[in-house]
A and B are shown apart, each in its own frame.
Chain A
Amino acid sequence: MTAFQSRGWLLSGVLILLSAFFPLADAAAPGFAPQAVLYAAALVFLLVGGRRRPGGASFAAALVLLVASAAALTAIVHRPDVAGGASWGFWLKAVGLWLASWMAVDGIADGEKAGASRWHDLAPAVLFGATLLALWEWIVAGFGIQPINLLAPSAIGAAVGYYAQTLVQDFVWTFLREVLLGWLVGSGAGFAVALVADRIPFLRRGLLPLGNIVSALPIVGIAPVMIWWFSYEWPSKTAVVIAMTFFPMLVNTVAGLAATGSLERDLMRSYGATYWPTLVRLRLPAAMPFIFNGLKINSTLAMIGAIVAEYFDGPTMGMGFRINTRAALSDSGIVWAEIAVAMVAGSLFYGIIALVERAVTFWHPSYRRA
């Protein structure tokens, strides 16, 4: 454990202990139930911080207690006498726990020197995300921020449960027809045109600069034009997604097909390989990192394109439609729930492509562990 970390742990313990001398809220009823955990936390953090040895069992105990204390503090902030009027007693605890969490992340990340593992990769990120969520919850509940302005994570979770049926319908409507179909057709077309352009150098020189320029343009703005062309039903949204995903795929595939060195290509020539065997056995596999880069960029673009295209006009279905109409009515519960679904779906969509990429391009140096 570094000096910085042990000082951090100590300070965190001191803050939580100090908080005992301040009221939890202006109107707080005297109560000691969940707070016991917090004072225990303070003691352990003081002890862990005091021992200048890298964490073993004591570190793990501190980590468990950190999670328990965060849960206890969340229970406190939702007590009717604390919610909306939290005071020094509460905020000192919150800052103390945030500090302890930071030190824990720091400690786990340092532990990597001893030996890298998946635990060292995942735990800091998970802890960091959980800390952000907890702070969000405490700030919204502690200051009593109005639901119309910002919902606490717990309220968003409740809204997701409450509107589950609508959310599933909207998700299936938007994701399967607009996002997935548009992503497949747009990326497929970009890939096909890139193969043709690769075969005809004239076309490549003509298309590539244009593709680079068009990739950077606000294509999502064609959403209303697509509605004129295909009516306001779902095909117009799919068309927007196709237009948005075509060019990045084209540019990435062309770059990928140019990625092989002359050495490898000369080797294929010396084997007497013609264009197609060279393409299938050498150039396409070598282009895979670029192609997957295009697919990953496009997964995000497809989500954005479909949702934004639905803002304009459409049948009474879909995530973008729901977000736009309900936001206008200040109905924040379902809006946040839809956004939460969109976030999870977007991340999973990206993550699945990344996993397939790992399986296909396992040979790529970026996956080697030092």
Chain B
Amino acid sequence: MTTEALALPAGRSPRGRLMRGQAGPVAVVVLAIVAAWYLACLPMNWDALQRAMPDAASRTLAEQFVAAINLPDGKIAAPHQIVAAMVQGLFFEPPFGRRSLVYHSMITLSSALSGFVLGAVLGIILAVLIVHYRSMRKSLMPWVIISQTIPILALVPLLNAVLGQLDLPIIVPKALIATYLCFFPVTVGMVKGLTSPDPMQLDLMRTYDASKAQTFWKLRWPAATPYLFASLKIAIAGCIVGAIVAEMPTGAQGGLGSRLLAGYQYNNLRLVLWAALFTAALLSAGLISLIALAERRVLASMGVAGGGR
């Protein structure tokens, strides 16, 4: 960036070093968001505050504020309330009880991960077909792209109704939705990756008289590995979204999505909704970091750029 190049070098002070990286600015932005969040609590929770504290208008501002950030049923929950509800749900409930966030996370995770595995395998198979057969490239690829413009989550209520009729386990529709949401990034990424070797490398394989299969395993697949990991990170996020949305309309079966619905329906469970929401975010971020970790390990062991560190 020119602006950076022209800027005076930051001082040797620890503060300068911290703010030149990413950690400092991110921390500042996060703190600003948390501060704004707390400030918003009083005006947004005013109605709920008056219900809990009929004489609220005559109290001091400090008293009003402290009360507003500790309400169980406000329009917005304060950050410390959300953290407390998450800690309670994750560590201080019987892990297989209906109120445990661990239990509900496991349900969401099981459908998301089965969808992820199915979707990744399907995505890779489609990509291999598209790369190797011209007719597949011509006929399948446009539909792969069109498939993503379809709001597939509109099918959720219907799938649940259908599978209720057929008496299939509830994980099936959720895993199918998750599969649908995650095969696409894998297909597109792998098509890019498998076609990433340049003509020179492909020609070299031909001079070695390599078969199609040998070219695939020794050149195309290794070249596609970085692309695969990039796609898997997008795919796993899609799976979690799919699983959660698929749980929303099915109230009673459990899962983080069903906790969202419960928190919406019962006023005294509002903190449950916030905790479920942030647990879902944590789950998503955690899985992405896991894939990122695997990526670094695998690429480093293959000696591909982007590995190590």
Contacts and interface: CB of A to CB of B under 8 A. Distances in A.
Q: Which of B21, B22, B25, B30 has the most CB of A within 10 A?
A: B25
A115 interface: no
A336 B240 CA distance: 25
Nearest to A199: B3
B13 interface: no
Nearest to A303: B151
Contact of B139 (A128, A228, A339): A128
Contacts of B263: 224
Interface residues of B, number: 67
B154 A258 contact: no
B154 A320 contact: yes
Interface in B7-62: 7, 19, 21-22, 24-26, 28-30, 44
B281 A124 contact: no
Contact of A121 (B30, B138, B249, B257): B138
Interface string B271-303: 001101100110011001000000000000000
Interface stretch (B97-105, B118-126, B142-150, B204-212): B142-150
B154 A323 contact: yes
Chain A interface, DSSP helix/strand/loop, else mixed:
helix
Q: Which of A199, A202, A216 has the most CB of B within 10 A?
A: A216
B25 A224 contact: no
Contacts of B149: 299-300, 303, 343, 346-347, 349-351
Interface stretch (B87-95, B159-167, B217-225): B159-167
A307 interface: yes
A329 to B, nearest CB: 9
A125 B277 CA distance: 40
A4 B76 CA distance: 65
Interface in A18-37: none
Given A229-B75, A308-B153, A342-B150, A109 B277 contact: no
Given A129-B143, A311-B248, A218 B284 contact: yes
Interface in A264-320: 265, 269, 299-300, 303-304, 307-308, 311-313, 319-320
B135 A109 contact: yes
Interface stretch (A53-61, A160-168, A203-211): A203-211
A225 interface: yes
Interface string A198-236: 010111011101100100111011101101110000000
Nearest to A149: B162
B260 interface: yes
B25 A217 contact: no
Contacts of B241: 218, 220
Contacts of B288: 216
B170 interface: no
Interface string B58-101: 00000000000000000110000000000000000000000000
A324 B249 CA distance: 8
Contacts of B153: 304, 307-308
B154 A218 contact: no
A307 B154 contact: yes
Contacts of B202: none
Nearest to B6: A269
B132 to A, nearest CB: 13
B197 interface: no
B166 A300 contact: no
Contacts of A125: 138-139, 141-143
A338 B165 CA distance: 21
Contacts of B30: 210
A65 to B, nearest CB: 20
B244 interface: yes
Given A148-B162, A311-B249, A323 B157 contact: yes
A128 to B, nearest CB: 4
A148 to B, nearest CB: 6
Given A229-B75, A328-B161, A216 B284 contact: yes
Q: Which of A129, A150, A199, A224 has the most CB of B within 10 A?
A: A224
A203 B249 contact: no
B135 A202 contact: no
Given A125-B143, A209-B22, A216-B288, A112 B154 contact: no
B26 A206 contact: yes
User: What 4 A-B pairs have minimum CB-CB distances, sorted nearest first?
Assistant: A206-B25, A327-B157, A224-B264, A128-B139
20 contacts: A108-B138, A109-B137, A146-B165, A149-B162, A203-B29, A210-B30, A216-B237, A217-B280, A218-B245, A224-B260, A224-B263, A225-B76, A229-B44, A265-B2, A299-B149, A300-B151, A304-B151, A324-B249, A327-B158, A327-B161
Given A112-B138, A224-B261, A308-B248, 17 more contacts: A108-B138, A109-B138, A109-B139, A124-B138, A199-B3, A201-B1, A206-B26, A217-B284, A218-B240, A220-B241, A304-B152, A307-B151, A323-B157, A327-B161, A339-B155, A339-B158, A343-B149
